[in-house]
Amino acid sequence: MCLHIKTWKKRWFLFDMDHRRLAYYTDCDERKLKGVIYFQAIEEVYYDHLRTAASSPRPPLTFCVKTYDRLFFLVASNPVSMRIWMDVIVTATDEHCRY
């Protein structure tokens, strides 16, 4: 399966533990909230090893956050950052499931 994404748009993510969500913004100053991904809605976080995001600007740094109703493709700035984001999201999702 190959998923074609027409355009990639830059978003800035904020890990918001107080509200148990990932908030994403259209600007780096975090003034224009574009949307949120609640931890309770996250089903999976995984590396895009099948390259389903064929048009990714950086395929080796692309990972997926799957929710009940949407699949998000995120691109990290470097491999260490990708691993940290993935670990933090998985940990937050697991913590949420405990309560």
Residue with tokens 């990972």: 63
State pLDDT tens for residues 42-97. 999 999 877 777 788 888 999 999 999 999 999 999 999 999 999 999 999 887 55
Alpha carbons 78 and 66: distance in angstroms, whole number:
21
Alpha carbons 77 and 61: distance in angstroms, whole number:
7
DSSP codes of every residue in 10-40: --EEEEETTTTEEEEESSTTS-SEEEEEEGG
The residue with greater pLDDT, 67 or 4, is 67
Domains of the chain listed by start with CATH number:
12-98 (2.30.29.30)
pTM of this structure: 0.82
Distances (CA, A) of 52 to 28, 46, 60: 27, 12, 12
Alpha carbons 4 and 92: distance in angstroms, whole number:
29
